[in-house]
Amino acid sequence: MQLIGKVRAGRGLFVVAMVVASSVLVGCAGEASVQDTSTQIGSPSPDQTADPAPTTGAAAQIADLPEVDGFTPVAAIETRPATNPWDGTLVVGGDVVVYRNDLSAQTYTVTGYTSPNYTESWSTTGAGWLTCSNASEIVCEALSYDQGVRTVENVFMLSPHDGTSTELPAGSPGTFLFVGMYADVAYFLTWDGTTYMHMTGFDATGAAVNDANLRIQAPESSEVVDVDATVAGAFARVSVPGSEAVLFSFERNSVLFSGVPDECVGLSDGVVCADSSAPFIGYSISGKEWQVPVPGAILLSSTGAPNLTLRSARTMLESIADAVAAVPDADHYIVPESDSLELAQLDDGTLVLPAGYSVPLSDATVSGADLTHDAVIVNVRRVGDATGESGGNTIDYSVLVAADGHVAASLDDDALRHLLSSRNEATMDLQPFTLGWSGNQLVFTDEVDGIVGLYVQV
């Protein structure tokens, strides 16, 4: 049977199709062999230390990095340019982890670079396609591919410092889906041999420490199911077609409510959920506390507002609703900060940030924002013009706005025009200029040329 799963992680929506079965069929069309599921594919064996890699220095130089006003570059790492959307870069403290996938060979390579010189310190390879999520721990899923179906074979936690891995026994291939981390526990939707889906948590040793029945019917043999799971602070929203979306509490290890709107943000004492066609709703562990209509406003996904209470959030949203009504033709985005909800408005190609600063974006759309530091990161998307039957390239990039309101860094206009007009056999989704935070370090990633840079604020 097939399952199509969606998990929101990082900057986008991760989509993967899985086969749910007691064994995995591999091989060419018309000639299939059965692989014993006791042999897990895709990661080093549990707790295995990765083979030491040559300690050759990173080829990239500080001079190769873009200038970021108000920041000083401290490290530059050159990696192989990304050739597909499965490649990725993770930064944890003083460690940088880069994973690459060979789609035709169905193998992956993960490489670690450590401070202070950021030389290549370890590398490991394995079978399958890898995708990794970075929260309090790095969690990686290894997938196989056969006849149009991708199967999550196994999952493991990865140490960024030395490449060791700990396998998590989430279930038989295709019977689990990674949701996210809470309190250093990795949570999964699981349904290996069960009537209903469960929420199961594993600690860093691989031991199952939590399990709860979600009362959502597990897939049957002929079903194709869209699963959407999102972590919001101490809660998770889980949605499966045919069932109402539920709100799960990690602290209570149980489902609290059903019928929850699309996007949720965690607060200090609850969660706020909304979609563009429904009111914003505030939930506590006890129940629905309030709802505030803010027509047309989009709640951007974020790390949450851990220092904001439900009571304060309601007051802020009521004020935001008045501001939205005053500019009805603009695109309205509600951006969570650590202790507040802020309004950003995109009107006639100009984004007005909460502090009143204006950022020209031309015909770009806003896909996310990070207001956790004095300098604001705005993630935007541009789509090029279609040519014939081919659609235009999609360019995702970041804009850094300094505390005084000026643009401190962004993708060069000439480079943007070149990437939008570049043609290949198929349209491309490119990420040439991505910014993010690792603690107080600013992280720059260019997946087109294969460069990672680390900066500190001056």
Residues 10-38: tens digit of each pLDDT: 322 222 233 222 222 222 222 222 222 22
Q: What is the dihedral of CA 18, 24, 27, 32, to 10 degrees?
A: -120
Can you give the pLDDT at residue 86?
67
Residue 311, C-beta contacts closer than 8 angstroms, at least 6 positions apart: none
**What does pTM read for this prediction?**
0.80
Determine the Cα–Cα distance for residues 63 and 73; give it in Å rounded to an integer.
9
The pLDDT tens digits of the residues spanning 171-224 come to 998 899 999 999 999 999 999 999 999 999 999 999 999 999 999 988 876 454
Can you give the pLDDT at residue 37?
25
DSSP string, 308-363: --HHHHHHHHHHHHHHHHHSTTSEEEEEE-SS-EEEEEEETTEEE-TTS-EEE-TT
Determine the Cα–Cα distance for residues 252 and 241; give it in Å rounded to an integer.
25
Mean pLDDT of 127-141: 89
Inter-CA distances, 48 with 30, 37, 90, 110, 403, Å:
37, 20, 20, 14, 45
Determine the Cα–Cα distance for residues 126 and 108; give it in Å rounded to an integer.
5
- Which helix (H) or strand (E) covers residue 392, if one does? none
Can you give the pLDDT at residue 38?
24
State the average pLDDT for the chain: 82
With bands split at pLDDT 50, 70 and 90, how would you rate the model's confidence at 225?
A: low
Q: Are the C-beta atoms of 308 and 339 separated by less than 8 Å?
A: yes
Residue 185, C-beta contacts closer than 8 angstroms, at least 6 positions apart: 201, 202, 203, 209, 210, 250
Can you give the pLDDT at residue 401?
95
Tokens of 447: 């997946």
The pLDDT tens digits of the residues spanning 406-418 come to 999 999 988 998 8
Determine the Cα–Cα distance for residues 113 and 343; give it in Å rounded to an integer.
38
Task: Give percent of the chain with pLDDT exceeding 90.
Answer: 51
The pLDDT tens digits of the residues spanning 287-321 come to 899 999 998 899 987 778 999 999 999 999 999 99
Residue 112, C-beta contacts closer than 8 angstroms, at least 6 positions apart: 50, 53, 95, 96, 97, 120, 121, 122, 123, 160, 161, 162, 163
Determine the Cα–Cα distance for residues 399 and 35; give it in Å rounded to an integer.
47
- Which helix (H) or strand (E) covers residue 266, if one does? strand 263-266
